[in-house]
Structure 1
Amino acid sequence: MTIQDDGARVDPRVLRTRRLLQDALLSLARERSLDEISVADVADRAPVNRSTFYQHYPDTDTLLADALDAQAALVGADLNDVHPGTGTGEPPDVLVRYATHVAENVGLYRSALGEHGSPVAVARLRRRIGALALEGLELHGAPPALAALPLPIAAAALAGSVIGVLVAWLERDPLPPAQDVASWAWSAVSGWPAQD
């Protein structure tokens, strides 16, 4: 048995099946847009049957969100490992690794976070960034434009702004350097000024 972050035990066979499904979806996403990928496509590529898919995931959006999280964790870019308030105004290495990972998989992230992207992936990212923003606001206080808002609302506003910055960055061609977007995002959630 393997123990998850929440302390629950998970059978290694379950983890193996989930990895197969995640890898199948990511493989398909390199070939076509996410909205063209069905549960049947993922099950065929995995290869598992559709009922096995549904034993692990309610839909392809949740599968995509898990696959993106797993890929980020593999490259040491789990946003749960970022904490504002320590060090200098430079973004932490894990945030730079995350931005680099996104840049290296720009097509997938453009699709996942874009106009017709994955609501589950966007919601997870917003939740993580909101938690970072709240931690930063608690340490440094709110910027003047958000000072009248309750901290959780100000954190949500910052998270939405960071998501907007990330999506706008992904829409640029050529894509600005990953270090730039990491710096912009870090400035928004930590209270440190952006570095030039």
Structure 2
Amino acid sequence: MGIDRRVARTRTALYDALVALIRRKDYAAITVEDILAEANVGRSTFYAHFTSKDDLLQRSLDRLRDLLVEVQQGQASSHAAGWDPARALFEHVSEYADVQAALAGGHGGAVLREAVDKVLADVLRQAMSAGPVGGLPRELAIQHVVATFNTTLRWWFEHRPEMAPAEVDALFRQLLLCGLPAESAAPFIVSADQA
């Protein structure tokens, strides 16, 4: 059963209000009252949907989950090889780069990172078959994909913010699908013939 249209409109208004406020002021300084005024929503309505400002931020990523699932299902049904969930995620992050930058380093950034990790892991759990992945525990494989995405994302924002999402997606794919050359791990891993 789908969500009631009024509920969807209210949640969208609250999500959009929070994003607008983050673009104008520090996340730590934003109050629930600010969000209510921006969204033109009453206090009881807010608390009927969310428990706090952090809960609103976390659950605003439900839209991201829906986008990833929609792209994934659309690709599966059309057998398309073009735009995929990872690329969709980089495009989405690029669209909201100013919000990401505003939240970076503070409590809001931690809330956002945790929520993105959860969305990614949930989407992967739905998409992956049960059981080991290439001989590795399934949860380890999921955490590896999430960590590789986060590492790529952080590198993008810190070192090459001008890079297009498609280019970042290509780097992510290379790291995830090809890994690093063996010699790059040499300082951390001693091979069996050296031991």
TM score, norm. by length of structure 1: 0.68
User: Counterpart in 1 of 2:121?
Assistant: 130
Check the 8 A contact 1:25/1:42 in 2, yes or no.
Answer: yes
* Distance in 2 (alpha carbons) for counterparts of 1:91 and 1:129: 20
Runs of 4+ in 1 over 6 A off after TM superposition: 136-140
Q: Which residue of 1 aligns with 2:169?
A: 182
Aligned to 1:34: 27
For 2:58 and 2:5, how far apart are their aligned partners in 1? 20
CA positional deviation for 1:102: 1.6
1:102-145 deviation line (CA, Å, top 9, x unaligned): 21321112344x33234443233213433566656989955xxx
Counterparts in 2 of 1:129 and 1:185: CA distance versus 1, 3 Å: farther
Task: State the match for 1:51 in structure 2.
Answer: 44
Secondary structure of 1:48's partner? coil
User: In the alignment, does 2:71 pair up with 1:78?
Assistant: no
C-alpha distance in 1, partners of 2:174/2:88?
A: 16
Mark the structure with the bigger radius of gyration: 2
Select between 53-62 and 92-101 the one with higher mean Cα deviation.
92-101
Letter in 1 for 2:91: T
Change (3 A) 1:60 1:174: same
- Confirm or deny: 8 A CA contact 1:62 1:121 kept in the other structure: no
Cα deviation per residue 1:52-100 (whole Å; 9 max; x = unaligned)?
2111111122212333443x47xxx8222438xx889x77344323312
Q: Whole-Å Cα distance in 2 between the matches of residues 188 and 95 of structure 1?
A: 13
Q: CA deviation at 1:187?
A: 4.4
Q: Which amino acid aligns with 1:62?
A: D
Higher helix share: 2
Q: In 2 relative to 1, CA 188–60 (structure 1 residues): closer, same or farther, beyond 3 Å?
A: farther
**Structure 1: which 5+ runs fail to align?**
5-9
Among residues 5, 10, 14, which one is paired with 2:7 in the alignment? 14
Specify whether residues 36 and 150 from structure 1 end up closer, same or farther in structure 2 by C-alpha distance, changes over 3 A only.
Answer: same
Partner of 1:167: 154
Provide the identity percentage.
Answer: 25
Q: What residue in structure 1 maps to residue 105 of structure 2? A: 115
User: What's the TM-score once normalised by structure 2's chain length?
Assistant: 0.68
- Aligned partner of 2:189 in structure 1 is none
Distance 2:16 2:5 in 1: 16
> In the alignment, is residue 92 of structure 1 matched against residue 83 of structure 2?
yes
1:155 is aligned, of 142, 148, 162, to 142
**Equivalent pairs, count:** 173
